[in-house]
Amino acid sequence: LNEWMGRLNNAPAAKKKDPNFRNKLYGTIKPIIKKLGMEERLDALLMERYSVTSIKDLSDDNLKKVRNTVRSWQTTAEKNNKTEG
């Protein structure tokens, strides 16, 4: 179900049909960053790659890219935790 929802949310028409499109992305990014303790890493990414200080300043496309990057950080952290434990 999550994969299916992800595909729907990534469809080009998603942001036009869903007024909460950006809020859903914020709601994906912020808890992961907080859980991983990577606030400074996110801040550095935003400044270095996008020249902004907040995810709210990103375009829709760049916000999706940041969400994907954050998810990859989460996946890497989960894999590292499995190999350590």
What is the structure's pLDDT at 18?
76
Sequential DSSP letters for the chain: -HHHHHHHHHSTTHHHH-TTHHHHHHHHHHHHHHHHT-HHHHHHHIIIIIS-SSGGGS-HHHHHHHHHHHHHHHHHHHHHHHHH-
Tens digits of residue pLDDT in 22-81: 999 999 999 999 999 999 999 999 999 999 999 999 999 999 999 999 999 999 999 988
What is the structure's pLDDT at 17?
65
What is the model's pTM? 0.78
